[in-house]
Amino acid sequence: MFAPLTSGLVEQAQIGIGQNVLDIGGGSGEPSLTISRIVGPTGSVTYTDPVAGMLESAQAEAARRGVTNIHFRQCSANDLPFETCTFDVAVGRLSAMFFADPIAAVREALRVLLEDGSVAFAVWGSSEANPFFSTVTNVIDRFLEGYPQDSDAPDTFRFAVPDKLAEILEQADAKNVIERQLDFRIEAAISFEQFWKLRTEMSDSLREKMGRLTPAQLPTVKQTVADAARKYFASGTMSFPAEALIVTGRKSAI
């Protein structure tokens, strides 16, 4: 579903054959699996994620595909266990929003890059431009009206405001920082029921919010979401418009 986002990230990061690439917060395996094909046998990808279950899932998928140029390490973005000046490129696809300390994490990414190496992060744009998420969260938030919301807490739309993540990169001393908007569609041959299951299981923050709902509220919430999402489903196919921001920068040459 997020293949266009991976392609946009790879393009902006200018990843090519033979490079050594660091994937920060690689989740279930992307973009590491895609990048492994691009860098080829003369290059390599180092996948990292703080969650053991994610790492195991990604490792199993790489083994299933017979991929041999991905290395796996469990670690947080704020404490990368690699030598200074190790990688050509560092990327993070939909992970920067959840960094405990974003400035420290970007500094760590820059530290492990070679001189003039590049870093690139893909994050979601505005909630309004991403109904794949907001169709569900807007309904739940209405039912939870009155609960405090921290705009800078780790969250899907933490860096949706233009230039917010770019300023983080600049504060971390990245050079030539550029932010680009990527518009695409999130598409898959799935029904609303499958979408509901996917969305309510893929996000810790959403699961936490749903835990605040009463059992009596859940059917009403689901039906309200179904009514709002109906226009994005036709003939067993889901198609949502989407907007992401891709922010790139470089490590300054000494």
- As a whole number of angstroms, the distance between CA 150 and CA 178 comes to 26
What is the H or E stretch that residue 241 is in?
strand 237-250
Q: Residue 51 corresponds to which amino acid?
A: V
pLDDT for 206 equals 83
| Residues above pLDDT 70, as percent of the chain | 97
Cβ of 73: how many Cβ atoms within 10 Å? 14
Contact between 25 and 49 under an 8 Å Cβ cutoff? The reply is yes
Domain boundaries, the chain: 3-250
Cβ atoms 205, 112 nearer than 8 A: no
pLDDT in the model for residue 149: 61
The enclosing H or E element of 115 equals strand 113-124
Cβ–Cβ under 8 Å, residues 14 and 7 = no
User: What pLDDT shows up at residue 120?
Assistant: 98
What pLDDT is stored for residue 203 in this prediction? 77
* pLDDT for residue 205: 77
Dig out the tokens for 102 from the structure. Answer: 């974003």
pLDDT < 70 stretches in the chain: 146-151, 254
Sign of CA dihedral 135, 137, 140, 142: negative
Q: What is the pLDDT of residues 1-12, one digit of tens each?
A: 999 999 999 999
Region 3-250: CATH code:
3.40.50.150
Residue 6 to residues 2, 18, 143, 151, 246, Cα–Cα distance (Å): 7, 19, 34, 26, 10
What are the helix (H) ranges across the chain?
A: 3-13, 32-39, 52-65, 102-111, 131-143, 164-171, 192-202, 204-210, 218-229
DSSP string, 42-96: TSEEEEEES-HHHHHHHHHHHHHHT--SEEEEE--TTS--S-SS-EEEEEEES-G
Q: Is the pTM of this model over 0.85?
A: yes
Q: In the prediction, which pLDDT does 187 show?
A: 96
